[in-house]
Amino acid sequence: MKRLCLPLVLAALGLGCAGSIYRGAFSLSTPSSDATVLAAVADRVRVAAPAPLPPVAAIVADDPAQGLAVIDLGTAAVLGRVAAPIASRPVVAGDLVLARSGGSIVAWSLSGAERWRFPDEGLDLVGASRDGERVAVVLGGAGVTRRRGVLRVVEAGDGSAVARTEIAHSLGLPTLVGDDVFVPWDGQNLSVLDARTGDERSRVRSRDDVVGFSFREGHAVYYGARALYRLGPESASGTAEGTPHYQPRRDELPGAAPFALDAYTSLRAGADARERVRLVWRPDPTQPGVALLHNTVFALYHRDVFALDAQTGALRWAYVSPNDLAGVSVVRAGLVVVDDRGGASLLSPDDGRARWRQALPGAGPQAVLQLPSDFSPAPNTDDPPRTLVQSLLEAAGGSDARLLPAQRFAAQSLAALPGAPATAALVSLLTRRALSPELRAVVGEGLVGRTEGTDAMLEALDHHYDYVRGVDVPPVGFLARALARAHERRAVSALVSHLFDPATPTDDLAPIVVALRELGDPSSLQSLADFVRMYHADVGAVAPVGGGDAIIERDITEQGQLNAAVEQAIEAIARMGGAPERSLLDRVQSHPSAPEVVRAAAARVRDGAAPEAPSENPPGSAAETPATGPSDMSFGAPAGRLSPDAIDGAMTPHRAEILACLRNAPSRPAQLRVQFRYDGDGRVSNVSVMPAAFQQCVAPLVAQVQLPTSLAVRELGTWICPTAQ
């Protein structure tokens, strides 16, 4: 008898003897809908008329406990104020503003009057969407791994319940269109529910991408997370390849700006860094497939905006706001930005110039904008035109340490531009006193290898340190390398003057000497010989004024840099000089006070590496032909040293291990600049890493690398390690 009852029990549970499976709303066993069903859903969206949106900004106070203000961006009038404490980023849904406040989800009218509330059930506000007389609200917001979410559909007028669903899944940003509620969940699914009953009507299941948001734009519904998809019959494939979509073309943007914010993790009220570093875009539903307004993606980094071609990733313009940006939105007229001091601007999509400015009667660190795509205030300003070089120069400058990733991106973009104006801008940056060491390295490396605009480099090289006139030491090392690569012999006399200038930093001496060697101008030979005579036995020992034992005033690093410069000068003399110069090298080789590395360098060239006669630098020689490819300290050094390609070939297999040092770093540099010593057996020592923050982790790894063997005795090497994944 008990066995006969079992089928009845199973049937009552909806399972049955055949093992039928329950497939309701948000069930894991519900399959993705076919193309016909999804086409019908898209058709319902297409014929549903979207409600007009008032152009407003909900601006949270500096202290979110003081509430928010609602401002009409068209008239700059305050529509209303909310005095209640705000615990979550507000959501503007038509003529309502929703936020978590005091243990409830509260809806206010744009005038600030409370319309309704319901308990927050211990969950954050994820998002809300209004259409007609209903509002869909999703609660959750603790991340995609927290499997609890609540979907409520309520009447817009009084908040009375229409439908409620609580599930053991994480829910994303909802969209309400007519009787359809689009709800992403668990990072993989987009379910379409009946707003009246909560029953599931259809589903899209992604098999190779993430789904976190959904929203309506015009007569289309879009969804996605790392890419943007347009809902249609193609969505039935569940694959990126089978569904029209858009994905950004650049991944080295400042702060690794995400395509969209994590929809499963709620933003807090007030300043939230996640809102300040992201991509900003808006789809154009009038175009087939997935297209963006202006074919542009805007990369936001606190107060900087970089406009990128959506298809190629090419940089179009840069904009630097005087204050941090609290809210940004794309419209057909351009890009609307609201800063945290209450300034609103409309930037032209073509060149980033402000066409409209408005001082708002409210300010705060967070501005949630609701703007119809046709929002277009009358122009009231006309900024002068600016070139891309000018805008990048402004973005790369400044002293705000938070903006270093944006400054680095701007400097690298500037270095990628051809032409003399870009070179002049890089030189201008490089000579700024406030430039951080990391940014200085990026700008300097960007300058090396440029052949256009050498006049700007020469002009910078003409300056010498002058305390009285407030003239800083120019970046001689980078300028020397760049001018040598450009084979600019007009630089010889200026380089020689800096070689003997006491204000020239010690680490710039070797690049100066190498540049003189590579330029090969006979007029520099005597100066190089004088340099060797002056410093070949200088170990930094200075006798006290009152007598006594000499004191070493030079640290090990500086001594190594000076020795390196003397070594390079010896190599240059051996290449360019004749018998008189070789006699100098004989004296250096036998001088008892000269450092061992200097004596070894002199011995090496005297044993056969030195040319028998001065180099005439015939056409086509290394001195006459500008170098190509990566630059290092050796500038295409003679046989016996390792080439940049040889160094790169030995270092690159260890790149993944080296890049592991950058994990969890607050700021990821675009490249690591590694300088070191190596000997003929390929042993690496004296490793120096820029940025210096990674020295402790990277230096031991580089020191273990085995380079190819060579004729080098003690040579300088440089390796540039790109950090893009």
Report the pLDDT value the prediction gives residue 675, as an integer from 0 to 100. 86
Q: Where are the alpha helices (DSSP H) in 520-671?
A: 525-535, 556-576, 579-590, 596-604, 644-651, 655-659
514: helix, strand or coil: helix
What are the residues whose beta carbons fall under 8 Å from the beta carbon of 39, sequence distance 6 or more? 232, 233
With cut-offs at 50, 70 and 90, classify the pLDDT of residue 338. Answer: very high
pLDDT band of residue 619 (cuts 50, 70, 90) is very low
- What pLDDT, on the 0 to 100 scale, is given for residue 683? 92
Mean pLDDT of 552-570: 85
Q: Structure tokens of 675?
A: 């300088």
Cβ burial of 231 (10 Å; 0-12, 13-18, 19+) is buried
Task: Compute the average pLDDT of residues 27-31.
Answer: 84
The predicted pLDDT at position 20 comes to 37
Look at the alpha carbons of 338, 343, 349, 350 in this order and tell me if their dihedral is positive or negative: negative
Instruction: Answer whether 406's CB lies under 8 Å from 397's CB.
Output: no
Neighbours of 36 (CB within 10 A): 9
Please determine, for residue 624, whether its predicted confidence score (pLDDT) is greater than 60.
no
Instruction: State the CATH class of domain 644-722.
Output: alpha beta
User: Could you tell me the two tokens for 496?
Assistant: 């020689």
Instruction: Tell me the residue type at 224.
Output: G
pLDDT tens figures, 75-110: 999 999 999 999 999 999 999 999 999 999 999 999
DSSP state of 110: T
pLDDT attached to residue 542: 62
**Cα(220)–Cα(212) distance, integer angstroms:** 17
Domain boundaries, the chain: 1-30, 35-370, 448-609, 644-722
- Give the 3-state DSSP-derived string for 438-452, with helices as H, strands as E and coil as C: HHHHHHHHHHCCCCC
The full DSSP string for 148-216 is: -EEEEEEETTT--EEEEEEESS-B---EEETTEEEEEETTTEEEEEETTT--EEEEEE-SSS---EEEE
Q: Pull the structure tokens for residue 81.
A: 């104020």
More confident call, 174 vs 470 = 174
**CA 438 – CA 441 distance, rounded (Å):** 5
Split at pLDDT 50, 70, 90, the class of 240 is very high
Q: In the beta sheet, which residues pair with residue 370?
A: 56
Is pLDDT at 210 greater than 50 in this prediction? yes
Fold type of domain 35-370: Methylamine Dehydrogenase; Chain H (2.130.10)
- Tell me, rounded to whole angstroms, the distance of Cα 30 from its chain centroid: 40
Q: What's the confidence (pLDDT) of residue 633?
A: 38
Q: Confidence band (pLDDT; 50, 70, 90) for 608?
A: low
Sort strands 296-301 and 304-309 into parallel, antiparallel or unpaired. Answer: antiparallel
**Residue 548 has what pLDDT?**
65
pLDDT, residue 552, reads 66
Judged against a pLDDT cut of 90, whether residue 23 lies above it is answered with no
Burial of residue 545 (CB within 10 Å: 0-12, 13-18, 19+) is exposed
- DSSP-derived letter for residue 380 is -
What percentage of the chain has pLDDT greater than the value 70?
A: 89
The secondary structure element, H or E, covering residue 615 is none
pLDDT at 292 over 90: yes
For residue 551, name the pLDDT band (cuts at 50, 70, 90). Answer: low
Q: Cα separation of 354 and 342, whole Å?
A: 16
| Per-residue confidence (pLDDT) for residue 664, from 0 to 100 | 77
Q: Which residue, 399, 397, 450, 405, is CA-closest to 423?
A: 450
Region 448-609: CATH code: 1.25.10.10
At residue 505 the predicted structure's pLDDT band, cuts being 50, 70 and 90, is very high
537 close to 593: Cβ distance less than 8 angstroms: yes
pLDDT at 214: 97
C-alpha 457/C-alpha 426 separation (Å) is 9
Model pLDDT for residues 245-263, shown as the tens digit of each residue: 999 987 789 988 999 999 9
Task: Please give the average per-residue pLDDT across 356-375, as a whole number.
Answer: 96
Do the beta carbons of residue 307 and residue 352 sit within 8 Å? yes
C-alpha to C-alpha distance for 626 and 621, rounded to whole angstroms: 10
| Cβ(28)–Cβ(21) below 8 Å | no
